[in-house]
Amino acid sequence: MILPNKIEPIKPNYDEIDAIILLERWYDEWSKDEDWWSGGNTWDLNIYTEHGEEEYDYGSRWVINVYGLEQHSTSEHPSTDTTNELDKFELKL
């Protein structure tokens, strides 16, 4: 009998300031891409853009999602758990 892989959530130590520091440090990278991932040891940051659809909306709106990680018993590397949203905010540039 094959048992399913055990998945354990990782306790996040996320702080909003950590995400802001990461955004500042990597601005040149994520501002050129429409979907960019990065993160810390216990959380991941996904940044994507939604271009303005209204005629008066001239800039791009950036959505930032922060997700917790999970550890699979068959892998030494944690993976993103997109059902575990820790934070979400938006920027308009």
Distance CA 51, CA 40 (A): 27
Q: Compute how many other C-beta atoms are within 10 angstroms of the C-beta atom of residue 52.
A: 13
| Model pLDDT for residues 3-51, shown as the tens digit of each residue | 456 777 788 788 899 899 999 999 999 888 878 999 888 899 999 987 6
In the predicted structure, residue 54 carries a pLDDT above the cut 60: no
Q: Note the pLDDT of residue 41.
A: 84
In the chain, domain spans: 7-83
Which spans in 26-67 are helix H? Answer: 27-30
Q: Note the pLDDT of residue 43.
A: 92
